[in-house]
Structure 1
């Protein structure tokens, strides 16, 4: 073998060694960043800078798109979500049944907040009769029970109605950008009644673990969230009063918009947002300008409200049982998706 051939062979081996070393180093960096995420059973340990650094590593990694997709999905899946779904006994075989057969079981733990004599493992029975004017008391009882029994079992808590449809994977993806040990809550943001605004109860809203602790410890237990008669909200609406108490307890609002300023939580069904068939009040009440047409909703939409049982089954089938050939690999892994650097 000639000297030039030997040198070429050594160079080739050296190149392979360098490539192997670079690949191994990149994997170690990913695991190091990934290690910031708490193990199952613990709260998320990251703060904003951890997330930012992790994103830089992930979005600039040289691994294949499929590998990055898999790693991101595994990280997001570790976010522990507890779902509280408000329902009534008369709706168990219709609305609640549709929710139970579709998105509810995608939560890590879920309960139906209900006034009932029935006993079920997924019931959170509260001793508050069904009455729209008593919803605020019903949810307060539910939050206090979750605080007492399950506070260490979740990172974020979702409150939704039995006519809400939730895309749980997208919700977890949004929540992954936040630290559960910091107080905060998010949803469809109404800019009314409360200084910082409040989240639509029907569209669903999410409270961080630390936020729920503040709600109970600083709000309910300190007696600073007692209801008062208000001319602008005589029925003491649950979502408004919860928002008021969260603000008093030091829980700020986090944005839920995507990077393009589109909503992820929606107070009405998809078709009404698409066609602009919305009640007039929402245009002045919404914190952010309402968009119609395809810009109405984020590609990573999270929730829709006032969805009938048949439509819940339909949405679920189209999302999870239907695939468009050539478009299955649609995760935007090359850059951020949400405005997670904004806290309002």
Structure 2
């Protein structure tokens, strides 16, 4: 609802690089990025048109963990009081399709003064699991504060080196800080965050069950029309062209005679 949209202040930051500013980042800004209360792009080169923040870090996959730490530190120093929830997304090869109304609906049922961590959950490497960087993940205000003030300064809590898989290292930090990896499925146990394109889930048998998605998922995965929550939030590996298509289908086309109001009894399921 309009009340929910105003109550949940959401900052989105997108991992990007100078070579992607005009080929990928601009499409994020033109589609789902418009619905963030604050939208920032984190790069090694500034760009006022996005806007992109110039972080003092080298580009490259081996530096994504360093870039993530610096990005969250910049946000903590400059935007902490302007938002309650902090969503991190990637802008490397894959791109996203995000439904932020559904994300805000999920977050509205939680208190940002509690240390919480949301996304699509892997089961390996971290006891409580960790959230996929591909599907994007969210930190509450309290979680961000603990990450910056207690996690990054302590090498026994968060990895001090620049390298390491960014989403795995973030998951280790969250667990070491006592921040729970939340169950973001709805009451029918359908996912809201997805690290793959919609077709992977919607068509049964499209993806072999020995694929990493099925092997590493924290929860059993469903396929077919019942795969995905009616309050789904994010998909991964969506091309720039398809981002515009999905944007139009979600926000500009309304089938006549169909009531698309959400079934709240189905949509709500929360916990760690």
Q: Are residues 1:246 and 2:246 paired?
A: no
How far did 1:119 drift? 4.1
What is the aligned partner in structure 2 of residue 332 from structure 1?
262
Contact 2:158–2:172, Cα closer than 8 Å, also in 1: no
SS in 2 for 1:159: strand
What is the aligned partner in structure 2 of residue 101 from structure 1?
30
CA distance in 2, matches of 1:211, 1:145: 15
The count of residues paired between Structure 1 and Structure 2 equals 265
Structure with larger Rg: 1
Change (3 A) 1:103 1:301: same
Q: Deviations over 1:136-169 (max 9, x none)?
A: 0001000111111111111110001131111010
Given the two structures, how large is their TM-score scaled by the length of structure 2? 0.92
Contact 2:46–2:52, Cα closer than 8 Å, also in 1: no
SS in 2 for 1:144: helix
What is the aligned partner in structure 2 of residue 146 from structure 1?
75
What is the aligned partner in structure 1 of residue 10 from structure 2?
81
Change (3 A) 1:268 1:333: closer
How far did 1:225 drift? 3.5
CA distance in 2, matches of 1:145, 1:165: 25
What is the aligned partner in structure 1 of residue 217 from structure 2?
286
Give 5+ residue unaligned stretches, structure 1.
Answer: 1-71, 230-234
Of 19, 36, 49, which aligns to 1:90? 19
Q: Deviations over 1:42-100 (max 9, x none)?
A: xxxxxxxxxxxxxxxxxxxxxxxxxxxxxx44134320000011112212222212111
More RCO (CA 8 Å, sep 6+): 2
CA distance in 2, matches of 1:161, 1:121: 15
How far did 1:335 drift? 3.2
Contact 1:214–1:246, Cα closer than 8 Å, also in 2: no
SS in 2 for 1:207: strand
Give 5+ residue unaligned stretches, structure 2.
Answer: none
Q: Are residues 1:258 and 2:258 paired?
A: no
Query: After the TM superposition, which of the residue ranges 270-279 and 310-319 deviates more from structure 2?
Result: 270-279
Q: Deviations over 1:6-44 (max 9, x none)?
A: xxxxxxxxxxxxxxxxxxxxxxxxxxxxxxxxxxxxxxx
What is the aligned partner in structure 1 of residue 236 from structure 2?
305
Q: Are residues 1:211 and 2:139 paired?
A: no
Superposition map of 1:103-118 within 5 A = 103-118=32-47
Of 187, 197, 200, which aligns to 1:272? 200
How far did 1:135 drift? 0.1
How far did 1:120 drift? 4.6
Given the two structures, how large is their TM-score scaled by the length of structure 1? 0.73
CA distance in 2, matches of 1:168, 1:337: 15
Superposition map of 1:181-192 within 5 A = 181-192=113-124
Contact 1:77–1:172, Cα closer than 8 Å, also in 2: no
Q: Which structure has the highest helix share of the two?
A: 1
How far did 1:240 drift? 0.4
CA distance in 1, matches of 2:65, 2:49: 23
Change (3 A) 1:215 1:175: same
